[in-house]
Structure 1
């Protein structure tokens, strides 16, 4: 009696597992979106460092937000040694929401020193599981290094399934 239920149950479990697995062969190519804001004019002494870049404190650097059926996990990539951009690894997971958001247009990176920049680039994709790099300019529009004097860094993503998702990192010198 139990044997005739084993095969149908195994088939159903296999179908459910396949539905949740990523499908790289059928996933559309991501579209790289870059902000249309004009680049900031660099002052003549821009190549000279103004201060030592702060590093993220030694605690776990990944930040998680699990609102509205979407889990975001975000980790900074180069805060200790910024280049022209500051990068963040963004992983999104869901089973019910379209993840094709333009995170560059929806994101602001701000410091407790009052400086902020808009997102610069994000490769828009889709699926139930999506990961990419969200970048921001390392300098404000008037050429000030974003991280100079900062003790706290806040990444705010608006309208990604909820009004706001906020991720905060404490910086150390």
Structure 2
């Protein structure tokens, strides 16, 4: 659904259905073999809006995945969001695709936010309680946001710490 970071060696990503059929979130600063992973809460359901939040809590040293405002899986990690971008990075990642040769996300993203600090579980639940939109049609399937490393794009993305987005899966598998 997204890949944030430098490349396929430093990233944070979530996939709606990994090779084992489960939602997966992973964080690494040293490639796939060194990932902190949250896996095993089942796949996202086709045709259903889901509120997905991922928290990288540097202070607590935890990576937590939330579905619809509820923490579903958490793992310990010593990786911080600040370690994901190197000085050589030419972008900060993608929404809807991976750093790897994976299929594009077949769904809609209604909201995508990055916060400067980790939200509390109550804050995640409050944001999740907001009413989901009615999907009528997709008007844009892709767009590019380019910026210089260290300069944030002029969008709702405001920092690093917590990723929160509402999405609608259109996958057929």
TM-score by length of 2: 0.26
